[in-house]
Structure 1
Amino acid sequence: MKKHILASAIIMALTACSPAEEQKKPQATAEAQVSEAAPKDSQAEQDLNQQFSRFSEDLIEKLWELNPGYAVYVGYYKYDDKMSVPSEDILKSEIAVAKEKLAQLLAMDVNQLSDSNASDYYILKNHLESQIFTFEELKSYQWDPSNYNVAGVFGVILNTDYKPMDERLRTIYRRMQNVPAFYQAAKDNLTDPTITHTELAIQQNQGAAALFNNSILQAVSDSGLSELEKADFNTRLAESTAAINGYIDFLSNKLEEMKTSGNARDFRIGEDLYEKKFKFDIYSGLTAKQLYQKALSEKERVHGEVIKLTEELWPKYFAEQAMPEDKLLAVKQLIDHLSVKHVKRDDFVDAIKAQIPELEQFVMEKGLIEMDADKPLVVRETPAYMRGFAGASISAPGPYDSGANTYYNVTPLDNFNDEQAESYLREYNHWILQILNIHEAVPGHYTQLVHSNKSKSLVKSIFGNGAMVEGWAVYTERMMLEEGYGDFEPELWLMYYKWNLRVIMNSIIDYSIQVKGIGEEEALDLMINQAFQQEAEARGKWRRATLSQVQLTSYFTGYSEIYDLREELKQKMGDDFNLTEFHNKFLSYGSSPVPIIRKMMLAD
């Protein structure tokens, strides 16, 4: 509960901005006029705020120096040709730096910081403590082979037009020098891998090998590099590919040993580690157990809503058939009946592309959120090295290169047989595909991350909170329907609640699997019979729950906290509440944890 206490008590100083910050606001506003009459901060407070700003800048620069790949993801390319090697000695030295920075941070009096700096203080504190916990207690570097995959950063450099292609290829050439050492460190670190993470690592590193052998190799062939440069490049490319394939072979042998011996590490992390990871990753006002109990309660409420809609729609679709006494069975029958309306298998990616402009038009016509037409969204097939975890995702640029493309990754159904593909398409049927696109694109992840990059605080943009990011995307699904998207069609609302039950069930099954130890069949029963998921989707979620811990709870946690905040502000402000202003203000705080945003918005 320590984090809960910190998050819910982000200092009384949040009730007013410092004069230095207030001077940045328009002078004509009533808020500015009131603030100008307030006493100025003491010199000591001003000095401390300046010290904190320097500390933040130094910490972020040190982070990029130690993690140049992470820097590339956020669009900071100063160290783009550097590649860190995750040996245990280097990891220990990074944790020593984290402890040093944490001690420096804790030496500052948070009560003397401005509201913006105080919230940054808690975000940085959480980040540093999380780093230390991950290395010293969770120790996933010892048991999760999927942590080790070089493809992501190479893919960003190859596909992001931040400098001419030939220069990017030379950057890739220099980075490749450490690929063999990277994978050797991975082999040295992995003392007791799990079966599920080993299988994922093999799949994704096969995609990494394809990136080097296909995309990068072709780019070199088509480039303006000299013949000597190409020859040197191809030599290093062969060395890198050999290192990746060597890692795959290493993991394949490990996998065979584990399956033969039956002596593999359990993928479950247990209650103690789960609660701690939840505290750092989610940053909620609740414990993991409390969130689990809240999800159980919300499941019952939503069951009531879907039963009402089923009773309304049943005569329309089953005029000659009596509704079953088992109400949830009736809901499932109606959903199954409706779910046959879906796009064709080969049209899945194209259908998503076609729908994005429709969502953008609705948001702009309603004026729901400020949109930025200059920040492109590109729908693409998920790169091979990213597949195997989620069917749809967003890859967004960071605050340093905010003008770069945001990619909506959609995995085609190439690897599914006909039965699996049909099950998947029924899950993402005519109605739910629209909700998926709201979530991933407009006004969900894509829109939120564009706003996040505009935050005046780099801390709030860089150290994004997963529960806020996922929670916003889930919140927009309900908000769009409330505002009239789909013309209040009951079928769309029924499918929305089905989708929302999946969000709720994510929290229930993640806790149940990782803490309570339930098995696959029990988890599938919960997802299929109580959240009305198709079998293919449910089996995919089981796999995902064996590969991640806590992350599946981020959707429901963030969503419920954002929705509760909105309703609280509506009650406090009455007729003065404006939905558009709420959205733009909420998004102006970057990707901060919702408890921090809540404190700052209530203060305003």
Structure 2
Amino acid sequence: MKKLILCAATVAAFSACHQGGGSSSGTDSTLNIAFGNYSQHFIDDLWKENPGWATEVGFHKYDSVLIVPDSAANAASLAFSARHLDSLKAYSLDKLTDANKIDYQLIENYLKSNVWGINELKSNQWDPSSFNVSNTFATILNENYAPLETRLRSFYARLRNVPAYYAAAKAQISNPVPELQQLAIDQNNGGAPVLEKDFVDSLNKTNIPAEEKKEMIARAKTAAAAMHDYATWLGALKPANPRSFRLGKALYEQKFNYQIQSAFSAQQIFDSAVARKQFVHKEMTRISRELWPKYFGTTPLPTDSLELIGRMIDTLSVRHVKPEEFQAAIEKQIPELVKFIKEKDLLYLDPTKPLVVRKEPAYMAGVAGASISAPGPYDKGGNTYYNVGSLQGWPADKAESYLREYNHYIMQILDIHEAIPGHYTQLVYSNQSPSLIKSLMGNGAMIEGWAVYTEQMMLENGYGNNEPEMWLMWYKWNLRTVCNTILDYSVHVNNMSKEDALHLLTKEAFQQQAEAEGKWRRVSVTSVQLTSYFTGYKEIIDLREAYKKKMGKDYQLKAFNEKFLSYGSAPVKYISQLMLK
């Protein structure tokens, strides 16, 4: 589920022990001040180069600008990266503070990734879905950061380059991936109403003069027509040799290196995931055998271990809330998690930053469940929301299937992952530092890995009273993380078939057929991101073991958790270097 930009207000209670930001021996204070100034200059330059990204994170100076993605724009982007890679050479990494070291490495990785994407990956040639203007326009329309008329005039100015934008897209696309071709058609046709309907509806709520409105509406219709025309053009495009959606080993390893920023290679992470799956299956078999007499009496156990596990999971999954109680059950769970963490003294929770549980807003609706919405780095005072999907109006059989998946046990694990001490708690800690770099370029593997790690950490400390039922369901949930990595690497590098992929997900990870079909669609239009959950989790567990060994009798879990979080949303490999040095 989408996690919005990582930002929350400063945690005052930790200002004195912010290990990630303090100076260390050998640092040069003058150089660090200069680097801080450079970082701000880099961000200013970044927004000029990426105005749409700026808008989406709450920086609105360039709302009216839409860059046409042609060869000139690519050349400008390469020049931007070359210029800033050269600027970084002025700062000796070993003389920067720990916090600045991480910012330096995040900037450097972003710049090198940008160059690689343009020169090597070249997704602009085979991924038509990378061309879509609707999201930034929707942000301008829906976010209440300025008076409506001001936002609409920025929207109008930005519309000017839409036809040229799609003309440039057509000029670059060659032998597109069919799955991405269809995705682009669906997304652009789906996004066009933002321009041709939502914009017009908003205009009608203002006092903008009629003649000016007429001009604005005409431009919006022209822009929407360009979007529809692009979709129509893609629909008629029948390349002789369409590119496979499978990335291939060389590109996959490189993309993994830039996007995940792990200390391991993609191949090593895949091998670890395969080993983890074997371990989890063994544990699930052991627990299922232990539970069998409690639920099945003297009925003989299935001889096949996967069948045994599956029957046990199906039996436990019938315990769930009623559809109308879904949100209330989640709300009730939050204070119980807080109480447990305090009783076990696992980490500090800032009481001044409460989490607001709310029904999922209509514009986010479509998939029930849970997600976190945090304010962007330019709106640190905003609320953080735990969005809970509604099952209202669902057919009884669909609601029952969903609630069996998010049953009594899984719902609690979901709350740990999404809220406390998972994503929400990490958000609060992440923004003790005023560093915009960490907020803007937060590492997805660390963010997702922390949330997965906290599930295990809570159960290790007795959450759920060590009930075997809870452990069995957590292992099922953990298999999602593990099999995400196995699936992604197997499909993009080892050419796994759809049939084998669905078998992996339904028979070995105990997922529903519809859920598995959805994951296949996801892996056919994305690559690498699915590995972030397991990679981050593995690296955090590895670091905890190494840190425990380093500290010896002085090791405390609370100290580990708080120190780890103090470095912000940085790649775990960089945090490890600093915690173990």
Query: What is aligned with 1:136?
Result: 119
Q: Aligned to 2:244, what secondary structure does the other structure show?
A: coil
- Do the aligned partners of 1:382 and 1:410 also contact (CA within 8 Å) in 2? no
AA aligned to 1:321 is T
Bigger relative CO (Cα 8 Å, ≥ 6 apart): 2
CA distance in 1 between counterparts of 2:140 and 2:57 reads 12
The structure-2 alpha-carbon separation of the partners of 1:286 and 1:462, relative to structure 1 and needing over 3 Å to count, comes to same
Among candidates 257, 264, 267, match of residue 245 of structure 2:
267
299 and 229 in structure 1: CA distance in 2 versus 1, 3 angstrom threshold: same
* CA shift for structure 1 position 112: 2.6
Equivalent residue, structure 2, for 1:366: 341
Amino acid at match of 1:133: W
Measured in 2, the distance between the counterparts of 1:85 and 1:377 equals 40
Residue 592 of structure 1 pairs with residue 567 of structure 2: no
5+ residue gaps, structure 2, are 1-13
- Distance (whole Å) between structure 2 residues aligned to residue 191 and residue 458 of structure 1: 37
The reply on whether 1:522 has 2:500 as its aligned counterpart is yes
Segments of structure 1 that go 5 or more residues without pairing to the other structure are 1-23
Describe the superposition over 1:209-265 as per-residue Cα deviations: whole angstroms up to 9, x where unpaired. 2333454433332334443443333223222322222222222223xx25xx6x421
2:7 is matched with none
Aligned length: 560
Q: What CA deviation, in whole Å up to 9, does each residue of 1:423-447 have, x standing for no partner?
A: 5554333432332343233332333
Match of 2:438 among 439, 445, 460: 460
CA distance in 2, matches of 1:571, 1:466: 27
Partner of 1:165: 148
1:276 to 243, 254, 258: 254
**Cα deviations by residue, 1:524-580 (Å, 9 ceiling, x for unpaired):** 111112111111111111111111111111100101111222333334435644444
Alpha-carbon distance in 2 for matches of 1:353, 1:230: 45
Shift of 1:196: 1.3
Residue 268 to residue 327, structure 1, CA distance change in 2 (3 Å)? same
Question: In the alignment, which residue of structure 1 is the partner of 2:536?
Answer: 558
Letter in 1 for 2:251: L
The structure 2 residue matched to 1:487, chosen from 457, 465, 471, is: 465
Percent of aligned pairs with the same residue?
Answer: 46
| Residue 177, structure 1, aligned to residue 182, structure 2 | no
Cα distance, 1:365 vs. partner?
5.5
Q: Give the drift of 1:504.
A: 0.6
Do 1:353 and 1:379's aligned partners in 2 also have CA atoms closer than 8 Å? no
- Structure 1 pair 584–376 and aligned structure 2 pair: CA distance change class (3 A): farther
AA in 2 matched with 1:246: D
Letter of the 1:497 partner, please give it.
Y
Specify the code of the residue in structure 2 equivalent to 1:84.
I
Please name the residue that 2:488 is paired with: 510
Distance, in Å, in 2 between the alignment partners of 1:305 and 1:93 is 54
**CA spacing shift, 1:357–1:391, aligned 2, 3 Å:** closer
1-structure distance, mates of 2:482, 2:62: 41
Residues 421 and 358 of structure 1: CA distance in aligned 2, closer, same or farther (over 3 Å): closer
CA distance in 2 between partners of 1:542 and 1:595 (Å): 30
Query: 1:35-54 counterparts in 2 under 5 A?
Result: 45-54=28-37
In the superposition, the TM-score normalised over structure 1's length comes to 0.84
State whether structure 2 residue 40 is matched by structure 1 residue 57.
yes
2:269 is aligned with what amino acid?
L
User: Would you say 1:79 and 2:57 are equivalent positions?
Assistant: no
The more displaced of 116-125 and 162-171 is 162-171
Q: Counterparts of 1:377-416 in structure 2 under 5 Å?
A: 378-380=358-360, 383=363, 394-406=372-384
Aligned ranges 1:345-360 → 2 under 5 Å: 351-352=326-327, 354-356=329-331, 358-360=333-335
Q: Indicate if the aligned counterparts of 2:485 and 2:530 stay in contact, CA closer than 8 A.
A: yes
Secondary structure, counterpart of 1:480 in structure 2:
helix
Q: 1:242 aligns with which of 210, 216, 225?
A: 225
Q: Deviation digits for residues 105-128 of structure 1, max 9, x if unmatched?
A: 235432232322222222211111
Alpha-carbon distance in 2 for matches of 1:211, 1:414: 26
The answer on whether the counterparts of 2:443 and 2:571 sit within 8 Å (CA) in structure 1 is yes
Query: 1:68 touches 1:83 (CA, 8 Å); kept in 2?
Result: yes
Q: Which amino acid aligns with 1:193?
A: P
Name the SS for the 2:360 alignment partner.
Answer: strand
Match of 1:6 in 2: none
Inter-partner Cα distance in structure 1 for 2:390 and 2:235: 26
- How far apart are the structure 1 equivalents of 2:560 and 2:199? 45
One-letter identity of the residue aligned with 2:31:
L
**Would you say the 8 A contact 1:369–1:583 is kept in 2?**
no
Describe the shift of the 1:488–1:599 C-alpha distance in structure 2 as closer, same or farther (beyond 3 A): same
Aligned to 2:311: 333
Pairing 1:549–2:516 present = no
Contact 1:180 1:243 in 2 (8 A): yes
Deviation, 1:66, is 0.9
Q: Which position in structure 2 is the counterpart of 1:13? A: none
Change (3 A) 1:202 1:138: same
2:223 and 2:144 map into 1 onto residues whose CA distance is 23
Shift in alpha-carbon separation, 1:582–1:104, aligned structure 2, 3 A: same
Q: Where does residue 17 of structure 1 map in the other structure?
A: none
Amino acid of the structure 1 residue aligned with 2:341: K
Match of 2:279 in 1: 301
Deviations 1:42-76 (A, max 9, x none): xxx44433332232222111111111111123222
| Pair 1:316 & 2:299 matched | no
Q: State the alpha-carbon separation in 1 of the partners of residues 519 and 538 from structure 2.
A: 21
